[in-house]
């Protein structure tokens, strides 16, 4: 019997969702454990990416559950309230969870985090529409579940522009402790829907307790091991220089240079982390521009399309016989306010880096 496909479309820009997930899963490497997919819908993302793993999925729409089950024969998919983890009491260990909700994934995530078991590294994906709510009414929910109302235009603008960096990420990093963020990526659709993902990891308990000869009770750790490397890369993504990042993780900059020369993959990871930091500044500038900040609009347009948007100023200078000639010179001019905004963004005053 053929299962009828629901008429209502579940995804917008599905290819971009797939691309974000493919990149992050590739960066994470081999994942050992099951995949949890609430809000599974028709199973589009799971069919594309997750079929090689054991899938536990759920949706509150019975018709979509039927479709997903018909496409994912080996998956365990049930009709359930996805804001509550529906597979309690199982011994299943998860290495990936995909919270592709309509607009608020964090009830589902918190329930999963409190009830499920995880492998030492886990990949998480989220679909977040709270900036859209801020833009429309000023009312939104923070990731811990609280309802907030931005009353004035200034409050709404600040909440909208810096929701990801100042509201969401600080909460997320604190909530998952003692786990640490290894890598985060995101993209925006229509400057209001945010699709993001994170690789998180905890220190392998098996590494603890290795004794250093003559110093009982102290754990031995490689001077620049995987954990410190991840911490170093995370600091680069936050915008720190290589030298400062090295100091913050307790190593000398020369040690980093030595490892980069010996390990081409690590050298590439350093370059990617630095590019991510620049990308975050670009995203913050774009978000400020699309929220109506005129100065941000100037900076963005001047740099993205200078031939079209650069200031054009006429300069008159003397020619032969002291006759004036008119010369049009294209000058890219950024106002003092624009310079100040850019500096604040880079320094983390205008937006907190990931």
Q: In this structure, what token pair is assigned to residue 312? A: 């054009």
CA distance linking residue 138 with residue 191, whole number of Å: 16
Which pLDDT band, with edges at 50, 70 and 90, does 215 fall under? very low
Q: Where are the alpha helices (DSSP H) in the chain?
A: 14-28, 44-49, 62-71, 106-115, 130-137, 153-161, 169-175, 226-237, 242-248, 253-262, 264-290, 294-304, 306-309, 336-347
Q: How many beta carbons lie within 10 A of that of residue 184, not counting itself? A: 21
Q: Which of 283, 124, 244, 129 is nearest to 194 (CA)?
A: 129
Question: Are β-strands 215-219 and 139-141 bridged in parallel, bridged antiparallel, or unpaired?
Answer: unpaired
CA distance linking residue 276 with residue 354, whole number of Å: 9
Which pLDDT band, with edges at 50, 70 and 90, does 203 fall under? low
Give me the phi and psi of 203, to 5 degrees please.
-65, 130
CA distance linking residue 260 with residue 248, whole number of Å: 18
CA distance linking residue 85 with residue 114, whole number of Å: 9
Predicted pLDDT of residue 291:
75
Lowest mean pLDDT among 45-54, 132-141, 180-189, 289-298: 289-298
Lowest mean pLDDT among 204-218, 241-255, 306-320: 204-218
Q: Which of 179, 136, 126, 182 is nearest to 159 (CA)?
A: 136
Estimate the share of the chain in helix, then strand, then coil, as percent rounded to the nearest 5: 45, 25, 30
Q: Which residues are bridge partners to 200 per DSSP? A: 122, 181
CA distance linking residue 25 with residue 276, whole number of Å: 17
**CATH node for 14-202:** 3.40.50.150
Q: Which residue has better confidence, 7 or 174?
A: 174
Q: Which residue has better confidence, 56 or 241?
A: 56
Q: Which residue has better confidence, 66 or 234?
A: 66
- Mean pLDDT score of the chain: 81
Which pLDDT band, with edges at 50, 70 and 90, does 340 fall under? low
Q: Which residue has better confidence, 29 or 325?
A: 29
Q: Please give the model's pTM, rounded to 2 decimal places.
A: 0.62
Q: 56-64 contacts: CB < 8 A, separation 24 or more?
A: 56/87, 56/92, 56/94, 58/82, 58/86, 61/6, 63/4, 63/6, 64/6, 64/10, 64/40
Give the domain ranges of the chain: 14-202, 205-278, 293-341
CA distance linking residue 164 with residue 337, whole number of Å: 24
- pLDDT at residue 158 greater than cutoff 50: yes
Tens of pLDDT, residue by residue over 64-92, are 999 999 999 999 999 999 999 999 999 99
């Amino acid at each position: 019997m053929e299962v009828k496909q629901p008429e209502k479309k579940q995804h917008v820009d599905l290819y971009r969702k797939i691309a974000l997930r493919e990149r992050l899963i590739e960066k994470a490497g081999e994942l050992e454990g099951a995949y949890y997919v609430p809000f599974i819908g028709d199973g589009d993302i799971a069919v594309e990416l997750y079929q090689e793993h054991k899938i536990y999925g759920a949706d509150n729409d019975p018709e979509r559950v039927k479709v997903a089950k018909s496409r994912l024969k080996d998956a365990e998919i049930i009709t359930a309230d996805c804001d509550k983890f529906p597979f309690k009491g199982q011994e299943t260990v998860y290495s990936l969870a995909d919270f592709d909700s309509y607009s608020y994934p964090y009830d589902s995530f918190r329930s999963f985090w409190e009830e499920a078991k995880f492998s030492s590294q886990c990949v998480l994906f989220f679909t977040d529409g709270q900036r859209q709510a801020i833009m429309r009414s000023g009312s939104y929910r923070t990731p811990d579940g609280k309802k907030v109302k931005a009353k004035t235009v200034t409050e709404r603008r600040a909440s909208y522009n810096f929701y990801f960096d100042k509201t969401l990420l600080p909460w997320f990093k604190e909530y998952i402790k003692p786990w640490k963020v290894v890598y985060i990526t995101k993209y925006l659709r229509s400057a209001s829907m945010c699709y993001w993902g994170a690789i998180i990891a905890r220190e392998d308990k098996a590494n603890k307790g290795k004794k250093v000869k003559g110093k009982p009770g102290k754990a031995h750790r490689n001077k620049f091991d995987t954990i410190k490397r991840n911490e170093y890369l995370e600091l680069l993504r936050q915008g720190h220089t290589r030298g400062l990042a090295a100091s913050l993780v307790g190593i000398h900059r020369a040690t980093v240079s030595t490892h980069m020369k010996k390990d081409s993959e690590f050298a590439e990871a350093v370059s990617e982390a630095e590019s991510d930091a620049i990308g975050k500044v670009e995203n913050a500038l774009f978000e400020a521009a699309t929220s109506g900040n005129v100065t941000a609009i100037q900076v963005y347009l001047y740099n993205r399309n200078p031939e079209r948007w650069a200031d054009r100023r006429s300069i008159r200078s003397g020619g032969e016989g002291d006759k004036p000639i008119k010369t049009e010179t294209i000058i890219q001019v950024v106002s003092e306010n624009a310079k100040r905004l850019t500096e604040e963004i880079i320094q983390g005053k205008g937006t907190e880096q990931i």
